[in-house]
Amino acid sequence: MYQIDFDHPVSVYFLGIGGSGMSSLAEILVDAGFRVSGSDKSRSTFTNVLESKGITVFYGQRAENITDEIDCAVFTSAVPKDNPEYIALQEKNIPCLTRPQLLGQIMKKYTTPIAVSGTHGKTTTTSMISEILLKADLDPTISIGGILKTIGGNARVGRSEYFVVEADEYTNSFLNFFPKIEIILNIEEDHPDFFKNLADIRSSFRKFAELLPADGCLIINSAIPHTEEITDGLPCRIITYGFGPEADYYPDGITYDEMGCPSFTLHSPGQNDRQFSLQVRGEHNICDALAAIALADQLSIDRRLTAEALHAYNGAVRRFEYKGTVGGVTIIDDFAHHPTEIAATLKAAAKYPHKTLWCVFQPHTYTRTKALLKDFAKALTLADQVVLADIYPSREPVSLGSELGISSEVLQQEIRSLGKECFYFPTFDEIENFLLENCIKGDLLITMGAGDVLKIGENLLGK
């Protein structure tokens, strides 16, 4: 495997440089003195940031973008083998690394690399930890899968020993990492296009936990079924958190204010009870905060600073993000694209002031929608009114929907079978017109999904 040498920066090319994970690594390398360039399909918030840092971005992936000046290329699992740039790299024998391989090599630079993993909540927990480390003036390097307003993007290059990163299980990416501290938030069935079943996913997380050294630490959610299968025999320190006294860290006396934001008393080993209040909504955010607090204590961060940082945190972009109000209708956008995430977000929304709760959901990938169809339907019934957009295929070919016999219309039928009315429209224009005709003052509208569904809310705000 090609090894990046930070003492001798070279020219690195990123295929798909505009992705959330790829763009953050590109920023880290350019700050370290590497000559960075790359390509993507179209402009985005991420590519705009990269270009502002002097990185050359080609729009459209073509063989002629690959020149002999490139010393190493980085790609993700989303790049097909018939990609013209990938073919050109092979023909020129230019060394290549996958994104997780590069990230693993970067982690080796730091004394305390912190990897945040789990089926849900990675971006939020990584963001909370980042806010705490910044508040404590620990100058961390950060790589997040979403936009954190405090750092104005998804990456920050610090000069300390701390490196905070999201650890994605898809394609076993996180098994390329070298963490000192790990957080495992949850383990649920997902990515059916790669993992065989839940047992396969749990096996992957066990292997991830085994990466920790004897002087490392694993912070894990006690609600994960059969947690001992993940933790037994590990040489490192193990800290648990959850909603019951069986966990090392657990909350008590949870209350919510008029906007649905929680406060709670924290119980933790060998410490006096502490009070926390959050500006993000939902029980799932309390859980993520517990993991961040346990990590802060592990790093001996002043408890007052931890509480202040968490109170100041108001969410990452696309995580219950307030977009605006039009005609008295409040528009929120959320990245939820798994049934558990949908249910958590809609439960949080129920505590937010509203008359009717509308959810415009865009399913993400055909394989996930097919595998979790009944769970999606059940979760979406928590909204008062459900509107479906077409499935966002992401990395999957459009033809796969027909092959699997899955579509948003199939999901619509499943939701209706549960006694919940559900509307489906094949275009965003039709959805927007329907909402304009039916949403009234005082309603809460959430656009939800990992694709481009946020455009619906943004378009409504512009109409």
| Extended strands (E) in 17-91 | 35-40, 56-59, 72-75
Catalytic residues: 122-123, 166
Q: Are strands 217-221 and 237-241 parallel, antiparallel or unpaired?
A: parallel
Residues 6 or more apart whose Cβ sits within 8 Å of residue 331: 322, 323, 324, 325, 445, 446, 447, 457, 460, 461
The DSSP string of 79-136 is S-TT-HHHHHHHHTT--EEEHHHHHHHHHTT-SEEEEEE-SS-HHHHHHHHHHHHHHT
Shortest CA distance to 342 belongs to which of 459, 186, 446?
Answer: 446
Tokens 């979403």 correspond to: 146
Residues 360, 447: contact at Cβ < 8 Å? Answer: yes
What's the sign of the alpha-carbon dihedral 432, 435, 440, 441? Answer: negative
Task: Provide the 10 A C-beta neighbour count for residue 54.
Answer: 9
Eight-state DSSP code of residue 320: S
Phi, psi of 159 (to 5 degrees): -125, 20
User: Measured between alpha carbons, how far is 433 from 463 in angstroms, rounded to an integer?
Assistant: 10
CA distances for 310 relative to 129, 291, 313, 459, angstroms: 9, 12, 5, 32
User: Measured between alpha carbons, how far is 375 from 378 in angstroms, rounded to an integer?
Assistant: 5
Tokens of residue 339, six digits: 């049934």
Shortest CA distance to 171 belongs to which of 83, 90, 84, 103?
Answer: 103
Tokens of residue 381, six digits: 């019934």
CA distances for 339 relative to 344, 401, 439, angstroms: 9, 19, 25
Residues 249, 306: contact at Cβ < 8 Å? Answer: no
User: Measured between alpha carbons, how far is 342 from 336 in angstroms, rounded to an integer?
Assistant: 5
Residues 6 or more apart whose Cβ sits within 8 Å of residue 228: none
Which helix (H) or strand (E) is 423 found in, with range? strand 422-424
